[in-house]
Amino acid sequence: MNIAFYTGRTGLIAQQEGLNVYSNNIANVNTVGFKASRPSFADCIYTVQRATEPEWQTGHGEYVQSTQLMYGVGVFTFTERELDFAIPSEEGFFAVMDRNGNVNYTRAGDFQMSQIDDHWELVTVNGEFVLDYEGNHITVPFVENTDTPDYAALTEMIGVYTFDNNFGLELLGSNKFAATERSGEAAADTNVEKLRMALERSNTDIAGDMVHIIETQRSYQLSARVVQTADELERITNNLRA
**124-178 pLDDT, tens per residue?**
999 999 999 999 999 999 998 888 999 999 999 999 999 999 999 998 888 899 9
198-238 pLDDT, tens digit each = 999 999 999 999 999 999 999 999 999 988 888 888 788 77
72-114 pLDDT, tens digit each = 899 999 998 999 999 999 899 999 999 999 999 999 999 999 9
Contacting residues for 102 by C-beta, under 8 A, at least 6 apart: none
User: 145 or 36: whose pLDDT is higher?
Assistant: 36
Q: Where is average pLDDT lowest: 6-10, 45-49, 145-149, 165-169?
A: 45-49
Question: Beta partners for 58?
Answer: 47
Question: Beta partners for 104?
Answer: 96
**Distance between CA 179 and CA 42 in Å, rounded?**
27
Q: Which pLDDT score, from 0 to 100, does residue 20 have?
A: 95
54-75 pLDDT, tens digit each = 777 777 888 888 888 898 899 9
Closest CA to 154 of 107, 178, 122: 122
Per-domain residue ranges of the chain:
3-71+206-241, 76-200
CA dihedral sign, ordered 4, 6, 7, 13: positive
How many of the other CB atoms lie within 10 Å of CB of 230? 18
Are the C-beta atoms of residues 223 and 15 closer than 8 Å to each other? yes
The model's pTM: 0.83
**Distance between CA 105 and CA 178 in Å, rounded?**
6
Q: Which helix (H) or strand (E) holds 112?
A: strand 112-116
**Distance between CA 148 and CA 151 in Å, rounded?**
9
**Distance between CA 230 and CA 174 in Å, rounded?**
42
Q: Which pLDDT score, from 0 to 100, does residue 44 have?
A: 81
Are the C-beta atoms of residues 19 and 215 closer than 8 Å to each other? no
2 pLDDT band, cuts 50/70/90, is confident
Q: Which pLDDT score, from 0 to 100, does residue 53 have?
A: 72
* C-alpha to C-alpha distances, 215 to 15, 78, 208, nearest whole angstrom: 9, 35, 11
Q: Which pLDDT score, from 0 to 100, does residue 242 have?
A: 59
pLDDT above 60: residue 1: no
**Distance between CA 61 and CA 49 in Å, rounded?**
15
Are the C-beta atoms of residues 108 and 85 closer than 8 Å to each other? no
* C-alpha to C-alpha distances, 60 to 24, 44, 176, 179, 240, nearest whole angstrom: 28, 5, 36, 35, 27
Q: Which pLDDT score, from 0 to 100, does residue 33 have?
A: 93
